[in-house]
Amino acid sequence: MTTQTIDPSLRRVPPFGGFNLTVLGIELKRMLRNRRTIVFTLILPAALLLSFGGQKGWDDKAGSGNVAAYILISMALYGAALTAAAGGSMVALERSLGWSRQLRLTPLNPVVYILMKALVALAMGALAIAAVNVVGALQGKAVMPTHVWVITPFLTLVCTLTFAALGVFIGYVVPGENAMQILGPGLALLSFLGGVFIPLDQYSDLVRHIAYWTPMYGVSEIARSVLTHDLPWYAVVNAVGWFAIFVAGAAWRMSKDTARV
């Protein structure tokens, strides 16, 4: 009996680094089967919006709409950020179970693996944004022009890329399920400090100047800019800067992780 040796150079490298829509679909279905994910994605953001409902001053003018519309956009951003971060941080659980190590034995490119995680996180973020907007529309308190209803969800979704990258970064730094124990309270604190829940003009000068440096400040200003008609240049710098930092951190930790194989 003879054995046949295969020349490694003859092996076909999968196109696009192993990017596969089937795998992407499986990842998305796995997230949707998780009850905690559904709570984070669909229930929590909508519940937060309803909990703020009926407050005094909701009908006051805010940009081209009212305060209710301002809060709706803020809640959609927070829900999408939390959901996207949770999706990205799933790499922590997969690393603890040894699944990511198994994947590194396949032709799947590590960068493509992270890309698929980011796409799943964005898809879940889109569901969170849609849930908040549907509840807001049914509630009937948010008033804003049609183009704001249309453009703002897409703008908010783009902003959640920052938190998908943050989730992946934390997932490579923190072991196992501890990632969400850090991301959950951390994002809530950053949201309060960054002007998502409370407008910055209600803070003291010291807190407001600290808020300008937080990751939530820039993205919240961008998400609401179509409504408020106000987007400071330093808010854009803030958003781009934090996105670059989180992507660089995730890439650095990923390279350290893959070097162990």
Q: For residue 141, what pLDDT is reported?
A: 84
According to the model, what pLDDT value does residue 12 have?
59
> What's the confidence (pLDDT) of residue 204?
85
d(CA 8, CA 231): 54
Q: What is the residue-level pLDDT of the chain in tens, covering all 261 positions? A: 455 554 445 455 566 556 677 777 877 787 777 777 777 677 877 887 887 766 677 788 888 988 889 989 999 999 899 888 887 777 777 766 666 666 666 666 667 777 777 788 888 889 889 999 999 888 888 899 999 999 999 999 999 989 988 888 888 887 666 777 788 888 889 998 888 888 888 888 888 888 899 999 999 999 999 999 999 999 999 999 999 998 888 878 777 665 555
CA proximity to 113, closest of 196, 201, 17: 17
- Adjacent-strand bridge partners of 61: 66
pLDDT at 85: 86
pLDDT at 220: 94
The strand pairing partners of 66, in sequence order, are 61
**CB contact set of 189 (below 8 Å; sequence gap of 6+):** none
CA separation for the pair 104, 96 (Å, rounded): 14
> What's the whole-model pTM score?
0.85
Closest CA to 158 of 93, 92, 257, 225: 225
